A and B are shown apart, each in its own frame.
Chain A
Amino acid sequence: MTPSASLKSTEPRLKVEGLKTYFFLDHGILKAVDGVDFHVGEAESVGIIGESGCGKSITAQSMLQLVRGRGQIVAGHAVLRRKQGEMVDILSLDPDSAEMRSVRGDDASIIFQEPMTSFSPVHTIGFQIGEMLRLHTKLSEAQIRERVIAMLGRVGISNPEVRIDEYPHQLSGGMRQRAMIAMALICHPQIVIADEPTTALDVTIQAQILDLMRDLQDELGMSIVYITHNMAVVAENVSRVYVMYLGRVVETTTTERLFKDPKHPYTQKLLRSIPHPGRPVERLEVIEGSVPSAVDPPRRCGFFTRCPSAMAGVCDAAIPALTKVDDEHWARCFLLSDEKEAEDEWSSL
C-alpha cells in the first residue's frame, strides 16, 4: 500500500485549529505549542514529526486535556466526531468532567512512549486494561475478563489467559508495549494518538508492533496520529505528515511529497542530516546550532537562527504564515510567500 492510496478527504475525525499550550514558568512563558492546526480523516494515519522541544508531545497531550502543572491550553479548538456522530470540541470540555472522561478511552486514547511508567505496578495488567471497560461500558466482570483476554491475544501476547493476571514487571518491554496498546484499543476508540509508540523498543519488536497497529487499523477502522522523531517510522506508516519546529507546524504534505520535494529549509536540512538505510554517505549534512528556547521566543521565524537561507530584516521581522504551495502541500517560509502570521492577544505575551 502506498500511503497516498488512503488519502481521501472525507470529513475529518479530528480537526485541530489554533492550538496554543503555554507553560507559565517563573522565568517566562514557555510557548510549547504556539498555533498548531492539523486534522486526521477517518481510518487515516498522519504523522507529527519533530525534534525534542518542538511541542509534538504537548500537542498530543493537549488533545486529551492531559496537560498538567503549569501548562495551560490557552487557545484553540479540537473538534472530534464521536462514535454516535455528534461533534464535540474537546478543548471546551472541563478536563475533569464526566464527558471528557468518556471521550478519553472511549472515543480517543493515547499510547505513551514509556510502557514502564504508564502502568501502575501494584495492579495486574488485566485489571488495568479492564478498568477502561468498567469506566466506559456496563459489561459484567466475566464479560470484561473475556474481552481483555481476547484483546491481549489480538495484540500478540501469548497465553493471554495466564498473562492477564500478571503484573507489569513480569512482562518484557515489548510485551508491556503490547499490553499498553491493548489498553488503548480495548474500547475500540475512533482515534488513537501514539506518542513515540516504539521508541523504547528493539527494531524487530518495533516492526512487529507497527505491523500490529496497521492490522488493527484495517480491522477496526480507527484513525491514528503518530507522534515521532523517527523519519523512517513516518515513511512507512502514515499518509500525511506535519513537521513541527519550535511550537508550530512548518510544513505539511503527503508522505511521498515530503520525502521527494520538501519545501521548508528545516525539512530539507533534516532529511539530509539523517543516515538513510541502504544509501550510505561519507558525511552527513549538519544543521548548525541547536533548537532555540521556546521561553518568550521573539516574533520571528523559529528557524531563523539556523537557516542557511535566512534573510535578515525579513525572517527576523515577522513570523511567516503557513501558506499553500499547492492543494496538498503547505509550508511556513518567507522564501515561498510574503504572508505573515496574524497576531492575536497571545502574540505579545
Chain B
Amino acid sequence: MSGQASDDNAILRVEQVSKQFVSRSGIGARNAPVIRAVDNVSLHINAGETLAVVGESGSGKSVTGEWVDLARLSERQLRQLRRHFHMIFQDPYSSLDPRMTVFDIIAEPLIYNERVSRAEARRRVIEVLELVGLGERHLNHYPHAFSGGQRQRIGIARSLICKPRLIVCDEAVSALDVSVQAQILNLLKDLQQRFGLAFMFIAHDIAVVEFIAHRIAVMYVGRMVELGETRAIIDRPLHPYTEALLSSVPMTDPTRERSGKRLSGEIASPINPPSGCHFHPRCPYATERCKAEIPQWRELEPGRFVACHFAAELRLAGMIQSHTPHHELHK
C-alpha cells in the first residue's frame, strides 16, 4: 500500500491486498512464509518499534486469533517463522508447563529450532535469565515456585532465547498486579532499546499502550479502523470508534470531569457483522452511506491511516487531559 510498502525497516508486513502476512527474516525476503491475514488489515512493524493493537474482545485484535492460523502452515514453514517471531502470553500461570523445569521451558525453542549442544543451551539460557532479572540459581526450579511476575519473566526469557526480531505480546501484562506490571513494562522497554526488538503489543489497557507503544492500530470486528503514531491517535483520533474507546478509559484523576460520551450497544459479532462500516450501528455520526458502503482504508495524513467515510470532516475528541500535571504524581 502507499507509504507503507516503501519502508525498508519493516520486519513484519501484513498486506491488505493479498490478505497475507509476509514475514521477512533478516536481509532479503527469500523463502518468506506467507500467512493468511484478517479482513482488510494492512500494517508493518519496524525494527525497534512497538506497535500496539487495541480494540474490544472479538474485534480481531486477536490478530492472534488469525495469528494462530500459524497452525495451518506446514511444519517446515512454521519452524522457519518461529525462529523469528515469539509470543508472550497473557496468563503466566497457564502458559508454562508445570512439569518442566525453567531450563527445559526456556531451552525448548532453542533445541527445536537450532542444533545446539546442551552446554551451549545452558549458557544461552543463563544469559537470557539474567537479562530478565533471574539467574542460574533458578535453572532447575519448576514454575509453581515462582510468583506471577517471575513467571512472566520466564515467558519473556523463553521468547528471547532464539534472538527473535519481533515478539508478539498478547495481553502480556494484563493479568499482572499493578506493581509487577510496572516491572515487566520497564523490562520490555529496556530489552527493546538494547536489542532493537520490535513488539506487537496486543492490549486493551490504553494507559499501558500509551506508555509502551510508538504507534497504535485500532481494530473493530476484524477490520483495522485506524493506525497512527500513539500521541496523534490519543490526542486527535480520526475514527469515531477510537474516540469512543478513548472516552471510555477510566482516568486516575478524581478531580477530572467524567466524559459524557458513551457507546451504546454491544460489539458486533464477527460471524455476522453489520453491512457497510461494521461500526455504523453504534456510531453517533453514522449516515445511510455507512450502512451501505465499506469505508476505504486510506492514508489521510502521512502515517495516519483510517477507514471512515467522514474522517476528513469529523472533529473528534481525544482523551481528556488531566488537570493534575503529571509531575504531581510522578515526583
Binding site for B on A (CB under 8 A): 2-3, 51-52, 172-175, 202-208, 210-211, 229-233, 235-236, 255-256, 258-260, 269-281, 283-287, 290-291
Q: What are 21 A-B contacts with C-beta separation under 8 Å?
A: A2-B255, A173-B57, A203-B248, A203-B249, A204-B245, A205-B266, A232-B249, A235-B254, A260-B328, A272-B329, A273-B181, A274-B178, A274-B181, A276-B207, A276-B251, A277-B322, A278-B320, A279-B322, A283-B189, A286-B183, A290-B149
The residue in chain B whose Cβ has the minimal distance to the Cβ of A198 is: B250
Instruction: Report whether B263 and A280 are in contact in the complex, using a CB–CB cutoff of 8 Å.
Output: no
Contacts of B324 in A (CB 8 A): 259-260, 279
Instruction: Report whether A269 and B179 are in contact in the complex, using a CB–CB cutoff of 8 Å.
Output: yes
Tell me the complex Cα distance, A83–B303, Å: 60
Pick from A202, A255, A279, A283: contact of B329, CB under 8 Å? A279
Nearest 9 CB-CB pairings of A with B: A279-B326, A232-B250, A207-B248, A51-B177, A202-B56, A284-B182, A273-B182, A287-B179, A275-B211
Min CB gap B179→A, angstroms: 4
Contacts of A3 in B (CB 8 A): 254
Instruction: Report whether B57 and A207 are in contact in the complex, using a CB–CB cutoff of 8 Å.
Output: no
Q: Does B252 contact A (CB under 8 A)?
A: yes
Min CB gap A52→B, angstroms: 5
Tell me the complex Cα distance, A229–B181, Å: 12
Instruction: Report whether A204 and B211 are in contact in the complex, using a CB–CB cutoff of 8 Å.
Output: no
Contacts of B205 in A (CB 8 A): 203
Tell me the complex Cα distance, A260–B329, Å: 8
Interface contacts beyond A207-B262, A235-B252: sample of 9 additional A-B pairs, CB < 8 Å, sorted by A? A172-B266, A174-B266, A207-B250, A235-B251, A256-B254, A259-B329, A275-B208, A277-B322, A285-B330
Write out, one digit per residue, whether chain B residues 180-212 have a CB within 8 A of any chain A CB (1) or not (0).
111101100100000000000000111110110
Pick from B264, B319, B330: contact of A278, CB under 8 Å? B319
CB within 8 Å for A204 and B248 given contacts A272-B330, A286-B186 = yes
Q: Does B253 contact A (CB under 8 A)?
A: yes
CB within 8 Å for A206 and B266 given contacts A272-B329, A281-B326, A287-B179 = no
Tell me the complex Cα distance, A170–B325, Å: 46
Q: Does B2 contact A (CB under 8 A)?
A: no
A174, A208, A277: which has the most chain B beta carbons within 10 Å?
A: A277
Instruction: Report whether A203 and B258 are in contact in the complex, using a CB–CB cutoff of 8 Å.
Output: no
Write out, one digit per residue, whether chain B residues 146-189 have a CB within 8 A of any chain A CB (1) or not (0).
01111000000000000000000000000001111111011001
Instruction: Report whether B179 and A270 are in contact in the complex, using a CB–CB cutoff of 8 Å.
Output: yes
Instruction: Report whether A275 and B266 are in contact in the complex, using a CB–CB cutoff of 8 Å.
Output: no
The residue in chain A whose Cβ has the minimal distance to the Cβ of B185 is: A284
CB within 8 Å for A229 and B208 given contacts A255-B254, A260-B328, A279-B329 = no
Tell me the complex Cα distance, A210–B253, Å: 16
Instruction: Report whether B204 and A236 are in contact in the complex, using a CB–CB cutoff of 8 Å.
Output: no
Instruction: Report whether A275 and B56 are in contact in the complex, using a CB–CB cutoff of 8 Å.
Output: no
CB within 8 Å for A236 and B321 given contacts A272-B330, A276-B326, A286-B179 = no
Tell me the complex Cα distance, A255–B320, Å: 20
Min CB gap A106→B, angstroms: 31
Tell me the complex Cα distance, A204–B322, Å: 20
Min CB gap A55→B, angstroms: 14
Instruction: Report whether A51 and B207 are in contact in the complex, using a CB–CB cutoff of 8 Å.
Output: no
Contacts of A271 in B (CB 8 A): 252, 329
Instruction: Report whether A230 and B250 are in contact in the complex, using a CB–CB cutoff of 8 Å.
Output: yes
B249, B252, B253: which has the most chain A beta carbons within 10 Å?
A: B252
Tell me the complex Cα distance, A233–B267, Å: 22
Pick from A202, A236, A286, A291: contact of B182, CB under 8 Å? A286
The residue in chain A whose Cβ has the minimal distance to the Cβ of B319 is: A278
Tell me the complex Cα distance, A278–B263, Å: 20
Contacts of B249 in A (CB 8 A): 203, 232, 277
B-side interface residues, number (CB < 8 Å): 52
Contacts of B248 in A (CB 8 A): 203-204, 206-207
The residue in chain B whose Cβ has the minimal distance to the Cβ of A237 is: B250
Please report the number of residue pairs spanning A and B whose Cβ atoms sit closer than 8 angstroms: 159
Tell me the complex Cα distance, A52–B148, Å: 10
Tell me the complex Cα distance, A149–B258, Å: 30
Pick from A202, A233, A273, A280: contact of B178, CB under 8 Å? A273
Pick from A202, A260, A270, A284: contact of B57, CB under 8 Å? A202
Q: Does B307 contact A (CB under 8 A)?
A: no
Contacts of A274 in B (CB 8 A): 178, 181-182, 207, 252
Contacts of A258 in B (CB 8 A): 254
Tell me the complex Cα distance, A32–B324, Å: 35
A274, A275, A280: which has the most chain B beta carbons within 10 Å?
A: A275
Contacts of B252 in A (CB 8 A): 231-232, 235, 259, 271, 274, 276-277
Tell me the complex Cα distance, A281–B56, Å: 25
Contacts of B185 in A (CB 8 A): 275, 284
CB within 8 Å for A277 and B319 given contacts A203-B206, A229-B178, A235-B252 = yes
Q: Does B132 contact A (CB under 8 A)?
A: no
Contacts of B110 in A (CB 8 A): none
Q: Does B244 contact A (CB under 8 A)?
A: yes
Tell me the complex Cα distance, A272–B207, Å: 13
Pick from B206, B211, B244: contact of A284, CB under 8 Å? B211
Q: Which of B10-31 contact A (CB under 8 A)?
A: none
Contacts of B206 in A (CB 8 A): 203, 277
Instruction: Report whether B211 and A259 are in contact in the complex, using a CB–CB cutoff of 8 Å.
Output: no
Contacts of A272 in B (CB 8 A): 329-331
Contacts of B251 in A (CB 8 A): 232, 235-236, 276-278
Contacts of B328 in A (CB 8 A): 260
A206, A229, A280: which has the most chain B beta carbons within 10 Å?
A: A280
Min CB gap B114→A, angstroms: 33
The residue in chain B whose Cβ has the minimal distance to the Cβ of A287 is: B179
Tell me the complex Cα distance, A52–B93, Å: 14
The residue in chain B whose Cβ has the minimal distance to the Cβ of A200 is: B57
Min CB gap A263→B, angstroms: 14
